Structure 1
């Protein structure tokens, strides 16, 4: 994440970020998604903060019908190109939303939000509560986020509060008895530092299943 002027919109910030290079991210799906969704029966999925589309494309390749959302049209256009190259374009509906002001319609068997962080002011807790409402009975809500700074720069982002998985769970304000907590934990995500040396970043994961009926 890079800092940006206070008066810059989320769309302008992320369009500028994605315009800096032809590819910002690795092109591989998030490892936590691969671990947590591999055992799920394909259905309808919602990918919040889809970026360049790697998660949505991975899900589509496994038979999911995906609604993929991002605030950046630059990212969505690039993601659609990648989906066409992967021959899954017909399985992904790319939608531009600033989740602070709009949210895709429908209910989904999987709602996935990976690293929904931004230096632009964003009502993350409210967005995730709305995401929970979009989960169909029997469906899964998967929230993965940073839990701290990378090992090679422990004092970076010192002014940012990264919530624990328990704090994320509590912020969802879920009705009692309607959800099953399947995973709520912090883990170390292996990464390499800018010089190519091994390191890690602490991340957290929350996987919830909405009970049937």
Structure 2
């Protein structure tokens, strides 16, 4: 889906995603001392807003102006710079970040690689890179998420995207996410995500 498509989707409902942060973002980043954070492909800004509330100075980048406009309203008064740009071509322009987050940016391999490398290159040495996405195995073993295998990924593929870079792997693998129907009527199902957390060296 292109930027115009996402603009239409974000305008069509109050919130496409939940207001709170993704559970893995909260788990993996809550212990880090606040600094400068980059949320690449931030959507409506739920993770950027959570980071800012933890004391981070956040740059939230997304190619959907409608998504950013929602985030700006929800995050009013917080230290967030909302930037309309494409994660595949965005550049830090010399700025350095203590953490970079990419959450559920589902792209074909070459485009994913561009976004991953753009985010990683924005980190200072010692900075943390965190990617969470729908895992390739979710298509046959999990629930929900994109049904196009071309935009799904594994942790190993994300690490390959970072080939040539020097980093310490803190976590790289498949993680389970429990998905409820929201009404308590259906049994909870399991979705499978890939999670990659590395520190730049």
Q: Which TM-score applies when normalising by structure 1?
A: 0.84
Partner of 1:17: 9
1:112 corresponds in structure 2 to: 101
Distance in 2 between residues matched to 1:187 and 1:136, nearest whole Å:
27
Match status 1:205 vs 2:195: yes
Q: In 1, distance between residues paired with 2:84 and 2:148?
A: 31
* Alpha-carbon distance in 2 for matches of 1:161, 1:72: 19
For residues 153 and 70 of structure 1, what CA distance do their matches in structure 2 show? 23
Matched residue, 2:56? 64
1:187 is matched with 175
Q: What is the rounded CA distance, in whole Å, between the counterparts of 1:122 and 1:51 in structure 2?
A: 21
Aligned partner of residue 183 in structure 1, secondary structure: strand
C-alpha distance in 2, partners of 1:151/1:138? 34
Q: Deviations over 1:77-130 (max 9, x none)?
A: 11000011xx41xx10000002233334311000000001158x9711111012
Query: What is the distance in 2 between the residues matched to 1:122 and 1:131?
Result: 15
Equivalent position SS for 2:31 = coil
Q: Is the 8 A contact 1:46 1:67 kept in 2?
A: yes
For structure 1, list consecutive stretches of 5 or more residues without a partner in the other structure. Answer: 5-9
| Alignment gaps of 5+ in structure 2 | none
| Distance (whole Å) between structure 2 residues aligned to residue 16 and residue 80 of structure 1 | 17
Cα distance in structure 2, aligned partners of 1:171 and 1:80: 31
Distance 2:37 2:197 in 1: 14
* CA distance in 2: counterparts of 1:42 and 1:104, whole angstroms: 19
The 5 Å alignment of 1:10-159 reads: 10-84=2-76, 87-88=77-78, 91-105=79-93, 106-118=95-107, 123-147=111-135, 148-149=138-139, 151-152=142-143, 157=147, 159=149
What is the alpha-carbon root mean square deviation over aligned residues? Answer: 2.3
Contact kept in structure 2, 1:47 and 1:66, CA below 8 Å? yes
Question: In structure 1, how many angstroms separate the alpha carbons of the residues matched to 2:142 and 2:200?
Answer: 35
